[in-house]
Structure 1
Protein backbone atom coordinates (compact mmCIF):
# COMPACT_ATOMS: atom_id res chain seq x y z
CA UNK A 1 0.00 0.00 0.00
CA UNK A 2 1.26 3.46 -0.89
CA UNK A 3 1.97 6.07 1.77
CA UNK A 4 -0.13 8.56 -0.22
CA UNK A 5 -3.94 8.71 0.00
CA UNK A 6 -6.12 11.21 -1.87
CA UNK A 7 -9.87 11.72 -1.35
CA UNK A 8 -12.53 14.27 -2.18
CA UNK A 9 -12.72 16.86 0.63
CA UNK A 10 -16.42 17.50 -0.04
CA UNK A 11 -17.20 13.90 1.00
CA UNK A 12 -14.60 13.39 3.73
CA UNK A 13 -13.16 14.80 6.94
CA UNK A 14 -9.83 13.86 8.51
CA UNK A 15 -9.45 12.54 12.04
CA UNK A 16 -6.00 13.57 13.29
CA UNK A 17 -5.22 11.53 16.39
CA UNK A 18 -3.05 12.50 19.32
CA UNK A 19 -0.51 9.96 18.08
CA UNK A 20 -0.28 11.75 14.72
CA UNK A 21 -2.26 9.26 12.62
CA UNK A 22 -4.57 10.73 9.99
CA UNK A 23 -7.72 8.76 9.11
CA UNK A 24 -10.32 9.64 6.49
CA UNK A 25 -13.92 9.52 7.74
CA UNK A 26 -17.27 9.99 6.03
CA UNK A 27 -18.43 13.59 6.12
CA UNK A 28 -21.69 12.54 7.84
CA UNK A 29 -21.41 13.80 11.42
CA UNK A 30 -23.39 10.75 12.54
CA UNK A 31 -20.30 8.71 11.61
CA UNK A 32 -17.53 10.94 12.98
CA UNK A 33 -19.41 12.63 15.80
CA UNK A 34 -19.05 9.65 18.14
CA UNK A 35 -15.53 8.41 17.42
CA UNK A 36 -13.35 7.31 20.31
CA UNK A 37 -10.84 10.12 20.80
CA UNK A 38 -8.64 11.91 23.27
CA UNK A 39 -8.87 15.63 24.03
CA UNK A 40 -5.88 16.18 21.71
CA UNK A 41 -7.61 14.61 18.67
CA UNK A 42 -8.93 16.93 15.96
CA UNK A 43 -11.30 16.76 13.00
CA UNK A 44 -10.20 18.70 9.91
CA UNK A 45 -12.55 19.47 7.05
CA UNK A 46 -14.02 22.05 4.73
CA UNK A 47 -17.49 23.47 4.23
CA UNK A 48 -18.78 25.06 1.02
CA UNK A 49 -21.51 27.41 2.18
CA UNK A 50 -24.09 28.70 -0.28
CA UNK A 51 -26.81 29.33 2.32
CA UNK A 52 -26.96 29.80 6.09
CA UNK A 53 -28.22 26.21 6.38
CA UNK A 54 -24.75 25.05 5.27
CA UNK A 55 -23.31 26.75 8.38
CA UNK A 56 -26.09 25.62 10.78
CA UNK A 57 -26.72 29.32 11.52
CA UNK A 58 -29.83 28.35 13.47
CA UNK A 59 -27.63 26.75 16.16
CA UNK A 60 -25.05 27.94 18.65
CA UNK A 61 -22.01 25.64 18.88
CA UNK A 62 -19.44 25.21 21.67
CA UNK A 63 -16.38 22.97 22.10
CA UNK A 64 -15.71 21.95 25.71
CA UNK A 65 -12.48 20.03 25.05
CA UNK A 66 -10.44 22.62 23.15
CA UNK A 67 -10.24 25.56 20.80
CA UNK A 68 -11.46 25.54 17.21
CA UNK A 69 -9.48 26.97 14.31
CA UNK A 70 -11.40 28.44 11.37
CA UNK A 71 -9.78 29.58 8.11
CA UNK A 72 -11.96 31.30 5.54
CA UNK A 73 -10.69 30.22 2.12
CA UNK A 74 -13.16 32.35 0.15
CA UNK A 75 -16.24 34.51 0.62
CA UNK A 76 -17.40 36.32 3.75
CA UNK A 77 -19.08 35.27 7.00
CA UNK A 78 -19.92 36.95 10.27
CA UNK A 79 -19.08 35.04 13.43
CA UNK A 80 -21.11 35.77 16.55
CA UNK A 81 -19.67 34.84 19.94
CA UNK A 82 -22.00 34.65 22.94
CA UNK A 83 -19.96 36.75 25.34
CA UNK A 84 -20.72 38.68 28.52
CA UNK A 85 -23.10 41.47 27.61
CA UNK A 86 -24.50 39.78 24.51
CA UNK A 87 -23.44 38.39 21.16
CA UNK A 88 -20.33 40.01 19.71
CA UNK A 89 -19.98 40.07 15.89
CA UNK A 90 -16.65 39.38 14.16
CA UNK A 91 -16.23 39.86 10.40
CA UNK A 92 -14.38 37.17 8.46
CA UNK A 93 -13.25 37.56 4.85
CA UNK A 94 -11.13 35.34 2.60
CA UNK A 95 -7.68 34.65 4.02
CA UNK A 96 -8.62 35.23 7.68
CA UNK A 97 -7.85 32.81 10.53
CA UNK A 98 -10.07 32.75 13.62
CA UNK A 99 -9.48 30.89 16.87
CA UNK A 100 -12.68 30.23 18.82
CA UNK A 101 -11.78 29.68 22.45
CA UNK A 102 -12.69 26.63 24.49
CA UNK A 103 -16.25 26.86 25.91
CA UNK A 104 -17.20 29.88 23.72
CA UNK A 105 -20.68 29.58 22.21
CA UNK A 106 -20.56 30.77 18.59
CA UNK A 107 -22.45 30.72 15.30
CA UNK A 108 -21.77 31.81 11.72
CA UNK A 109 -23.90 33.91 9.38
CA UNK A 110 -23.18 33.80 5.66
CA UNK A 111 -22.53 37.21 4.07
CA UNK A 112 -21.53 35.83 0.65
CA UNK A 113 -20.91 32.30 -0.63
CA UNK A 114 -17.89 30.96 1.21
CA UNK A 115 -15.55 28.04 1.70
CA UNK A 116 -14.35 27.42 5.24
CA UNK A 117 -11.65 25.10 6.57
CA UNK A 118 -12.10 23.99 10.19
CA UNK A 119 -9.90 22.22 12.72
CA UNK A 120 -12.15 21.27 15.61
CA UNK A 121 -11.89 19.06 18.69
CA UNK A 122 -12.95 15.49 17.87
CA UNK A 123 -15.11 15.33 21.00
CA UNK A 124 -16.95 17.73 23.28
CA UNK A 125 -18.99 19.66 20.69
CA UNK A 126 -22.31 20.92 22.05
CA UNK A 127 -25.17 22.57 20.16
CA UNK A 128 -28.11 24.66 21.30
CA UNK A 129 -30.85 26.32 19.24
CA UNK A 130 -30.53 29.96 18.29
CA UNK A 131 -33.44 31.97 19.66
CA UNK A 132 -34.67 35.01 17.70
CA UNK A 133 -34.95 37.00 20.91
CA UNK A 134 -31.17 36.77 21.46
CA UNK A 135 -28.85 39.53 20.27
CA UNK A 136 -27.48 37.68 17.26
Structure 2
Protein backbone atom coordinates (compact mmCIF):
# COMPACT_ATOMS: atom_id res chain seq x y z
CA UNK A 1 0.00 0.00 0.00
CA UNK A 2 1.47 3.29 -1.12
CA UNK A 3 0.09 6.82 -1.07
CA UNK A 4 -1.14 8.16 -4.40
CA UNK A 5 0.57 11.30 -5.69
CA UNK A 6 -2.52 13.27 -6.73
CA UNK A 7 -0.41 15.62 -8.87
CA UNK A 8 0.92 12.67 -10.90
CA UNK A 9 -2.10 10.35 -11.05
CA UNK A 10 -5.85 10.65 -10.89
CA UNK A 11 -8.24 8.53 -8.90
CA UNK A 12 -10.91 6.63 -10.80
CA UNK A 13 -14.19 5.99 -8.98
CA UNK A 14 -15.46 3.02 -10.97
CA UNK A 15 -19.06 1.94 -11.46
CA UNK A 16 -18.31 -1.41 -9.80
CA UNK A 17 -17.37 0.36 -6.55
CA UNK A 18 -13.61 0.12 -6.90
CA UNK A 19 -11.36 3.14 -6.40
CA UNK A 20 -8.11 2.91 -8.34
CA UNK A 21 -5.26 5.23 -9.29
CA UNK A 22 -5.02 5.92 -12.99
CA UNK A 23 -3.80 8.38 -15.58
CA UNK A 24 -4.99 11.98 -15.45
CA UNK A 25 -6.55 12.90 -18.76
CA UNK A 26 -8.95 15.44 -20.14
CA UNK A 27 -11.22 12.86 -21.74
CA UNK A 28 -11.58 9.15 -21.98
CA UNK A 29 -13.78 6.14 -21.80
CA UNK A 30 -13.32 5.21 -18.14
CA UNK A 31 -16.19 3.42 -16.45
CA UNK A 32 -16.59 6.00 -13.72
CA UNK A 33 -15.72 9.36 -12.31
CA UNK A 34 -12.22 10.84 -12.20
CA UNK A 35 -10.76 12.91 -9.37
CA UNK A 36 -7.64 14.79 -10.50
CA UNK A 37 -5.42 17.43 -8.89
CA UNK A 38 -3.25 19.84 -10.85
CA UNK A 39 -0.56 22.35 -9.96
CA UNK A 40 -0.93 25.06 -12.59
CA UNK A 41 1.16 28.15 -13.25
CA UNK A 42 -0.39 29.80 -16.34
CA UNK A 43 -3.66 29.92 -18.27
CA UNK A 44 -2.02 27.61 -20.81
CA UNK A 45 -1.86 24.93 -18.08
CA UNK A 46 -5.68 25.01 -17.85
CA UNK A 47 -6.17 25.26 -21.64
CA UNK A 48 -7.51 28.79 -21.17
CA UNK A 49 -7.69 29.21 -24.95
CA UNK A 50 -10.35 26.48 -25.15
CA UNK A 51 -13.88 25.94 -23.95
CA UNK A 52 -14.51 22.55 -22.32
CA UNK A 53 -17.74 20.60 -21.92
CA UNK A 54 -18.67 17.31 -20.22
CA UNK A 55 -21.85 15.95 -21.83
CA UNK A 56 -22.46 13.10 -19.38
CA UNK A 57 -21.97 14.71 -15.96
CA UNK A 58 -21.56 17.84 -13.89
CA UNK A 59 -17.99 18.83 -12.97
CA UNK A 60 -16.83 20.07 -9.57
CA UNK A 61 -13.98 22.55 -10.11
CA UNK A 62 -12.16 23.07 -6.80
CA UNK A 63 -9.42 25.54 -5.92
CA UNK A 64 -7.26 24.01 -3.21
CA UNK A 65 -4.76 26.86 -3.16
CA UNK A 66 -4.52 30.05 -5.22
CA UNK A 67 -7.31 31.49 -7.31
CA UNK A 68 -9.09 31.29 -10.63
CA UNK A 69 -11.96 32.75 -12.58
CA UNK A 70 -14.37 30.29 -14.16
CA UNK A 71 -16.26 31.46 -17.22
CA UNK A 72 -19.48 29.86 -18.45
CA UNK A 73 -20.33 30.33 -22.11
CA UNK A 74 -23.87 31.57 -22.59
CA UNK A 75 -26.26 28.78 -23.39
CA UNK A 76 -27.33 30.51 -26.61
CA UNK A 77 -23.94 29.56 -28.11
CA UNK A 78 -22.53 33.07 -28.23
CA UNK A 79 -18.78 33.32 -27.63
CA UNK A 80 -18.87 36.15 -25.05
CA UNK A 81 -18.95 34.63 -21.56
CA UNK A 82 -20.98 35.79 -18.62
CA UNK A 83 -19.27 37.44 -15.66
CA UNK A 84 -16.77 34.98 -14.21
CA UNK A 85 -17.26 32.99 -11.04
CA UNK A 86 -14.37 33.90 -8.72
CA UNK A 87 -12.84 30.91 -6.96
CA UNK A 88 -10.39 31.34 -4.09
CA UNK A 89 -8.52 28.84 -1.90
CA UNK A 90 -10.91 26.27 -0.49
CA UNK A 91 -13.83 27.04 -2.81
CA UNK A 92 -15.51 25.03 -5.56
CA UNK A 93 -18.09 25.49 -8.29
CA UNK A 94 -20.24 22.83 -9.91
CA UNK A 95 -20.42 23.28 -13.68
CA UNK A 96 -23.69 21.83 -14.94
CA UNK A 97 -23.61 18.87 -17.32
CA UNK A 98 -23.26 19.96 -20.93
CA UNK A 99 -22.24 23.55 -20.09
CA UNK A 100 -19.22 24.99 -21.91
CA UNK A 101 -16.71 26.54 -19.51
CA UNK A 102 -13.09 27.67 -19.19
CA UNK A 103 -10.65 28.92 -16.55
CA UNK A 104 -8.26 31.84 -16.15
CA UNK A 105 -5.81 31.83 -13.26
CA UNK A 106 -5.08 34.61 -10.80
CA UNK A 107 -1.62 33.10 -10.30
CA UNK A 108 -0.04 29.73 -9.57
CA UNK A 109 -2.72 27.48 -8.10
CA UNK A 110 -3.56 23.93 -7.05
CA UNK A 111 -6.85 22.77 -8.57
CA UNK A 112 -8.94 19.63 -8.35
CA UNK A 113 -11.63 18.45 -10.74
CA UNK A 114 -14.21 15.74 -10.25
CA UNK A 115 -16.25 14.55 -13.22
CA UNK A 116 -17.16 11.75 -15.57
CA UNK A 117 -14.72 12.37 -18.41
CA UNK A 118 -16.45 10.21 -21.00
CA UNK A 119 -17.31 12.31 -24.06
CA UNK A 120 -15.48 15.44 -22.89
CA UNK A 121 -15.15 17.99 -25.68
CA UNK A 122 -12.76 20.88 -26.19
CA UNK A 123 -13.40 23.76 -28.59
CA UNK A 124 -10.85 26.44 -29.42
CA UNK A 125 -11.91 29.83 -28.14
CA UNK A 126 -12.31 32.54 -30.76
CA UNK A 127 -9.92 35.46 -30.36
TM-score (norm 2): 0.88
Matched, 1:18 2:9: no
Larger RCO: 1 or 2 (CA < 8 Å, sep 6+): 2
Runs of 4+ in 1 over 4 A off after TM superposition: none
Of 57, 60, 74, the residue aligned with 2:65 is 74
Pairwise mapping of residues 1-136 of structure 1 onto structure 2 (< 5 A)? Answer: 4-27=1-24, 29=25, 33-37=27-31, 41-84=32-75, 86-88=80-82, 89-132=84-127
- Say what the alpha-carbon RMSD is for the aligned residues: 1.7
Q: Partners in 1 of 2:95 and 2:18 — Cα distance?
A: 24
Structure label with greater radius of gyration: 1
**Matched-pair contact (CA < 8 Å) for 2:28–2:119:** no
**Matched-pair contact (CA < 8 Å) for 2:66–2:108:** yes
State the Cα distance separating 1:5 from its structure 2 match: 4.1
Q: Partners in 1 of 2:58 and 2:67 — Cα distance?
A: 21
Secondary structure of the equivalent of 1:54? helix
| Structure 1: stretches of 5+ with no match in the other structure | none
| Structure 2: stretches of 5+ with no match in the other structure | none
Q: Partners in 2 of 1:106 and 1:19 — Cα distance?
A: 30
TM-score (norm 1): 0.83
Number of aligned residue pairs: give it: 123
**Matched-pair contact (CA < 8 Å) for 1:15–1:122:** no
More strand by share: 1
Q: Specify whether residues 74 and 36 from structure 1 end up closer, same or farther in structure 2 by C-alpha distance, changes over 3 A only.
A: closer
Q: Is the deviation greater in 84-93 or in 116-125?
A: 84-93
